[in-house]
Amino acid sequence: MKILVIEDEPKTVAYLLRGLTEQGYAVDVANNGIDGQHLALTGDYDAIVLDIMMPDRDGLSVLQALRREKDTPVIMLTARGEVDDRIHGLRSGADDYLVKPFSFLELLARLQALGRRGRPQEAAHIRIADLHIDLIARRAVRGARRLDLTAKEFALLAALARHRGQVLSKTVIVEMVWDVSFDSNTNVVEVAIKRLRAKLDEPSEAKLLHTIRGMGYVLEEKHE
């Protein structure tokens, strides 16, 4: 999932950025309403975490502008916990509402629930040959062998699996798995592919992760 966090409080931003990145999410951050609204309207996000009280433009105004054009799932984050405030936020188009201080685990569970609700066409499980990927539990098994993947390795595998048979360029992979500030001139993608291939393919006779020279990478079962 790719998440946009629109929040002006530096400690909350750092907390969310660290926690979501550790879970394998690609995260973009805006620290004011104007920049947040621009990213929300022009970017492609699976969910948005939106603070209400911000400089330049408040979160409700951002939400109302977003709802005129897009239906991206939104979780409101705010110190306002009164029932009337929550009702106002939900009626303005929010999908969920969390009051500060909040539990990161609860936020994570709500993001996962919104992701499932926002992508009803996507199966929770992907099978390619003897590879089984559980997108909800974030587990991958090859044959009888559980793959010990880091959060970023799982996000990379899931991105390739969702587009099985389709060659994904380095730029596309960066967009799916990393965030907008990622330096695509580094070799991080190549390193991540190498590590994923070692865990996915090297112990197996049939290879699933293929490099297409000059184009990118593809996950598919190839028959001789």
Higher pLDDT, 115 or 5: 5
Q: How far is CA 180 from CA 23, 162, 215, in A?
A: 17, 21, 21
Output the six-digit token pair for 52.
Answer: 């209400």
Domains annotated on the chain, with CATH: 2-118 (3.40.50.2300), 125-219 (1.10.10.10)
> How deeply is 209 buried, as exposed, middle or buried, from its count of CB atoms within 10 A (0-12, 13-18, 19+)?
buried
Kindly give the residue spans of alpha helices, DSSP state H, lying in the chain. Answer: 10-22, 33-42, 59-67, 83-91, 104-118, 151-162, 170-177, 188-200
What is residue 53's predicted lDDT score, i.e. its pLDDT? 87
- Segment 160-172 shows an average pLDDT of 88
> Average pLDDT of 199-203?
91
Per-residue pLDDT band for 122 (boundaries 50, 70, 90) equals: low
Whether residue 75 has pLDDT greater than 90: yes
206-222: average pLDDT: 92
pTM above 0.95, yes or no: no
Q: How far apart are CA 149 and CA 26, in angstroms?
A: 17
Q: Are 118 and 44 in contact (CB under 8 A)?
A: no
Tokens 């502008």 locate to: 65
